[in-house]
Structure 1
Amino acid sequence: MAQITAPGDREHLAVAEPPAIGQVDAVTVLSVFVVMLTVVPARFIVGPLGAAGTPAGIMAVLCLFWYLSSMIAARTSPIRGRQPVRTVVVVFCCAMLASYAAANLRSLPGLEANAVDRGLILTAGWAGIALLAADGIPRLDRLEAVRRRLVAGGGFIAALGCLQFFTGLDLAGRLAFPGLTTSTSYTSLLQRDEFNRPMATATHPIEFGVVLAMLLPLALHGAVYARPGRRGRRWFLVAMIVTVLPMTVSRSAILGLAVVCVVILPIWPAMWRITAVIMLGVFMVALRAVVPGLIGTLTSLVSDIGSDSSTVTRTNDYVVLSDTFVHRPWLGQGFGTYLPQTYRILDNQYLLSAVETGVAGVAALLTVLLSGWFLARSARRASRARRDAETAHLAQCFAASMAVALFAFFTFDAFSFPMVSNLTFLLLGCCGALWRLSRPEDGTA
């Protein structure tokens, strides 16, 4: 069975031949998925598939087929010991299938019938990427490779976002891909208080900001434990993400940054915490000097909670609980059927899930997000017991990423945005892999 080693003992793992699923390294497939998720703009889709037709979404579904087909023979099966993520994914899929069945018991308009079918495709993709990561990542050094590539993707979209903020140039919008069309839900460059709101390859500034907040803990881990000669590059990625995150002028992004601080800072030594607070203060002063007015705008976003139009609109969304939810409280009206053009936009994924998938769907969604947190925290405890400080820190960083998703889902309809929803399930799978690899009795053969 694979053993977890101290950070200094991992050099021999990097040169060992990686296990494979079906003779193909799962980490390589996940790396290609990360490239599609971050580099290829999410606004480009295969037209007939609609929102489910992003290149990353299609690859996620193929990952599920590959994962299931590899289970045909014991020699290629990825299942090695216990894995809670498998149970979580089954529970989530069952809730979505029950909602699908309930939706088809009534007469659906054409748009809603297509939407509920797309919902199944999305669910299959999310399940595939979570299962492949949870069972397919064979060792800690390969999990570290996935983390590095996620952070590199975050640095790439942060650079695009920085350019977009200062110049208004949308490079992603100028691209064209054969066979792909631009989603009809794509919005052009948005502004707030005369500031450009970048979105890079995401579909909206809110999604972009939340994705950066979810990747920030992983970037911090790479910088803290960087080897000599790589620290400058790793800290540059952290600085890029932290700089661009407030440029989205998004309350969700600021909430995500606060969650990261609350989860990460308490586990750091006192000197690290003091240094982080000082650097954050210096960063705010520098940002105020370089971009006058931005800090004031962000401050007003937080101080005006409860009175601004955005908050009032979100509060008024709860009227749908009496109008729609009470009629189908348990399984909802069908995943994906509460269309903005037919009903209204619900800027709260939990509320939207309550309407579309009922109590069962909300419970399944909370199970997904909370299980990622608890698996990462369990991996941290196991790593600390083995005196592996680096793996324990990595586990806390994955927990922070899942915590960002847990809170950010209150502020926007996350499942309507392909980048953040796919990233959430990929991180869930990584949390499951880390949980498995932190226990020698549950590791891969």
Structure 2
Amino acid sequence: MDGRAASLTITDKIPYFLEAGVQPIVLSAITGMKDNRFPHYQFLAWGPSAFRFDFRHWIANQYGRGWFYKFTTRTVSVLLAPFIAIEKIILGYSSQWSWAIPAFLRGYWLIKSGKVDVIYSIGSAWSAHLAGVWLKRTTGLPLISEVHDPMVIRKNPDDLGLEKPKNRDARFRHYLEKQLCKYSDYVWWFTDGALHYAKARNPNLNTPGNAQGFVVMPGANPPIEDGRQPHRYGKYLNLCHFGSLANDRSLSMILRAAHTLIGKYPEAREFIRIHAFGAPLDALTLEAIKRYDYPDLLIAHGRLEYNPTTGQSGREQVAQKMQEADVLILLVGNDEWCAEYIPSKFYDYLWAGRPIWGITHRNPQLDQMLQERGSYLSADGDESGIAKTLERIWLDWNHKQLINPVYNPIGVDQAVRTIFHHLHI
């Protein structure tokens, strides 16, 4: 899917796998484009809630988001509503769980046909790992698993995630993590923190007869072929955020800092612009815009899709906008699991060669990577510190002395080498 982090993490590896002689057979949802370089099977999930989600994306890809999209998706939502309610009452799982059923059935047939040597489950969506465990247990083929986001969400720094959650979806993810640590031959996470807490919950990890676990930094391929463009100071100080927003990952903290800055430097009101790309604004940000009367200070651009006029993909447009920024905002969030997570957008930011303002939460690995490359750094929840950092950025911009970051991007090639090293390929 164009611009989707979970999809890019997969597709960026494919050229390296092909070069190494790996012949992939891909099983995926129907929400993305079909890859013609190898067998690629796309499935609708069988549950009603996931069917509704997939159907919306499929219609949008085929016909756009005009009147036909609105009519068909609303009709399907109304027809499926009672079945979705029953599904939630009986199971209580997140919507995508049922994709594992068609993936397992096709995977089992491919394995029995002698076309598969290794099962490779890749998840943001945990249904991929569920299908992988089912296939491993029924066929005995080697299983390798790539866990994008922590499957167990901890509550506080002292919580290891040992207690079984009350929420049924969270409880199943807790169970599924144990299955991966037991039945996978190899399993990897994207941060040191994620591996640390997974090992704390699953002491059998990295013991004989169980999964061998390690860390792979996913990195990113250069998003455009033209390379970096030189930075030019313009009329406005452009602070740009790319990616999803929520109440726990909100631009409202930037607006509060801007309000403090404007109180000290009133002229800043005319020159600061905050740009949000890739997602609707969260409720806290909308509330802050209204409270401070900043409708022109924060500009929401929404999601950048494929442009048929220029032929640019959404990813290419995003890369261009990143290079036009004065400073790139990296919001990690303030939930406890953010200590185990590095936003995939960070790796794209590194290719842009622009200074990053990271606002992080108890994540020493990410902090170190930001500091090594020359960045502005704040701690989530430290309003005074965030305001001081924005003031520093404002003064640096005024003197045309913004941080010149160390250009040291992290490519996908190192991720593939790490995987091959551990798998002895």
State the TM-score bracket (shorter-chain normalisation).
under 0.3
* Structure with greater strand percent: 2
* Structure with greater helix percent: 1
- TM-score if structure 2 supplies the norm length? 0.28
- TM-score if structure 1 supplies the norm length? 0.27
Name which one, 1 or 2, has greater alpha-carbon Rg.
2
Which structure has more relative contact order (CA 8 Å, sep 6+)? It is 1
